[in-house]
Amino acid sequence: MRYEDLKARYEQMKKMFGTNAYKHVSQLLAEAKEQHKKDWERNPTRAKDHEQSWRAFKGKNLEKLLADIIKDEVEALGLRVVNGNTLERAERLNDELARVKNNLLIDYNEFGKHLPDVDLIIYSPKTCRILAVVSSKVTLRERIAQTGYWKIKLSHQKNTRHIKVLFVTPDEDKTLSKKEPTKKGRAIVETDTNGTYVMSESV
């Protein structure tokens, strides 16, 4: 199972569900898990733990899929999307991305400047001004407080306080699908992000 397989299946879902295809991401992941397990059984990881292998695959590729889902819409607005890892890990960046990176850095004074841990950055290619950052998680149990932390840090700097922090999830643990009783994860995304988007039919 590769990301290309996941993307191809999503393209099939787009033909079936049109603009609502994103609401079926959990179904897509469930189907992908079955194929992933078959592939894993032919070549198991050293830890002999399929669930661990699947969680890593799922988290990494949800981020890629999200970028592909929103890319056309973002570019239609004259904006661009870049993966957070591209800014974090690349040894050399072109002038445009170097400016984007500089516009996102958080200053920790004597401890240096560091990028927030976000999945996607939406920016204007004309000015390199960042409009929003996006974090994606399969469930809200996965480090959701981290997203709230970065929102607070960005809001404390004059040059980054305008940046919107958005959260996207298929909400597989149903934290956002149930209003009462409110769980901690929901409280965080409701108060410490600028918007939360659920890729599910149930919301």
113 Ramachandran zone, left/alpha/beta (phi>0; psi -120 to 50) = beta
Nearest Cα neighbor of 32 from 15, 63, 7 is: 7
Residues 165, 53: Cα–Cα separation, whole Å: 29
**Could you read off the pLDDT tens digit of each residue along the chain, which spans 203 residues?**
888 988 999 899 989 988 888 888 888 888 888 988 888 888 887 777 888 888 888 888 888 888 888 888 898 899 999 999 899 888 899 999 999 999 999 999 999 999 999 989 999 999 999 999 998 887 776 678 889 999 999 999 999 999 999 998 888 777 777 777 888 888 888 889 998 888 876 65
Question: How do 164-169 and 195-198 pair as beta strands?
Answer: parallel
Alpha-helix runs per DSSP H in 142-191:
144-155, 184-191
Question: How far apart are alpha carbons 185 and 192 in whole angstroms?
Answer: 10
Answer yes or no: pTM beyond 0.85. no
User: CATH assignment of 78-203, given 3.40.1350, 2.60.40, 3.30.750, 3.30.160?
Assistant: 3.40.1350
Yes or no: say if 115 and 105 are a contact pair by the CB < 8 Å rule: yes
Alpha-carbon gap, residue 117 to 134, rounded angstroms? 10
Map out the domains of the chain as residue ranges.
1-76, 78-203
